[in-house]
A and B are shown apart, each in its own frame.
Chain A
Amino acid sequence: MSAVAQGEPRLAHERSERWVPALAAVCGLLLLAIAVEIVIDAAAGPSPVVPKSPELVGWLSGLGERLGYRGFLIALLISCGAYGTLATLARRFGASAISTRWAIFLLAALQLIVFVGPVLLSTDVFSYVAYARMGVEHGLNPYTHGPDAIVHDPIYRYVGHDWDRVATAYGPLYTLLSYPLAPLGVVGALWAMKLEALLASAGTLALTWRCARARGFDPVAAVLVVGANPLYFLYALGGAHNDLIMMLAMMAAVSLVVVAPSAGSSTRSARREAGAAALIVAGALTKATVAVLLPFMIVSKRRLAPILGTVAALALGAIVGYVAFGIHGINIVAALNRDAAFVSTDSFANEIAHLLGKPGVFPIDHDLLKAALVLILLHLLWRTWRGYDWVAASGWALLAISVTSTWLLAWYILWPLPLAVVTRDRRLLAATLAIQALFIIHQTSPLLAPVQ
Chain B
Amino acid sequence: MSGASLSSEERLPVEERRWERLPRWLRPRISEQRGSRRLWRLETTVLVVVGLFLAVAVVNDLARQTRINHRLVADLTTWRHYTDHDYKNISIDQETLGAGSNREVLCGNTSGGAPGSKTQVCLAIWGPTVNGRRTVHGGWYLPPYYEDVRSERYGCFGSVRELCPR
Contacts and interface: CB of A to CB of B under 8 A. Distances in A.
Answer whether A and B are interacting partners. Answer: yes
Contacts of A170: none
Given A354-B61, A425-B1, A427-B44, A451 B32 contact: no
B76 to A, nearest CB: 7
B76 A451 contact: yes
Given A438-B54, A451-B69, A452-B76, A216 B6 contact: yes
B125 to A, nearest CB: 15
Range class of the B interface residue count: 35 or more
A76 B50 CA distance: 26
Interface string B1-12: 111111111010
Interface residues of A, number: 49
B114 interface: no
Given A260-B9, A387-B5, A424-B4, A448 B32 contact: no
B131 interface: no
B8 A259 contact: yes
Nearest to A348: B54
Contact of A403 (B11, B16, B54, B59): B54
Given A427-B47, A431-B47, A448-B69, A388 B1 contact: yes
The winner among B5, B7, B16 for most chain A CB atoms within 10 A is: B5
Contacts of A260: 8-9
Interface string A196-230: 00000000000000000011100000000000000
Contacts of A354: 57, 60-61, 64
B66 interface: yes
Interface in B70-85: 70, 72-73, 76
B65 A445 contact: yes
B66 A355 contact: no
B37 interface: no
Given A385-B28, A431-B47, A448 B76 contact: no
Main secondary structure of the interface of A (DSSP, over half): helix
A214 B47 CA distance: 28
Contacts of A386: 28-29, 32-33, 36
A390 to B, nearest CB: 8
A273 to B, nearest CB: 10
B62 A441 contact: yes
Interface string A414-452: 000000000111010001001100100110111011111
B3 A355 contact: no
Contacts of A259: 8
A299 B29 CA distance: 10
A350 B60 CA distance: 11
Given A262-B8, A388-B32, A448-B69, A442 B100 contact: no
Contacts of A450: 69, 73
Nearest to B44: A427
B5 to A, nearest CB: 6
Nearest to A389: B3
Contacts of A389: 1, 3-5
Contacts, number: 119
A442 B61 contact: yes
A300 B29 CA distance: 9
B9 A438 contact: no
Nearest to B25: A386
Contacts of B49: none
Given A215-B6, A261-B8, A449 B100 contact: no
A302 B16 contact: yes
Interface in A92-119: none
Nearest to B77: A452
Given A387-B31, A388-B3, A425-B3, A438 B55 contact: yes
A294 interface: no
Interface string B66-107: 110110110010000000000010000000000110000000
B51 interface: yes
A350 B64 CA distance: 12
Contact of B73 (A262, A352, A427, A451): A451
B54 A257 contact: no
Contacts of A392: 1, 3
Interface in A269-315: 269, 299-300, 302-303
Contacts of A157: none
Given A257-B9, A258-B6, A300-B9, 17 more contacts: A259-B8, A260-B9, A302-B19, A351-B54, A354-B64, A387-B4, A389-B3, A389-B5, A392-B1, A423-B3, A425-B3, A427-B47, A438-B54, A442-B58, A442-B62, A445-B65, A445-B66
Interface of B: 1-9, 11, 15-16, 19, 28-33, 36, 43-44, 47, 51, 53-62, 64-67, 69-70, 72-73, 76, 88, 99-100
Query: What are the 3 tightest A-B residue pairs by CB atom distance, in nearest-first order?
Result: A387-B29, A449-B69, A445-B65
7 contacts: A260-B8, A299-B28, A393-B1, A423-B3, A425-B1, A438-B55, A449-B69
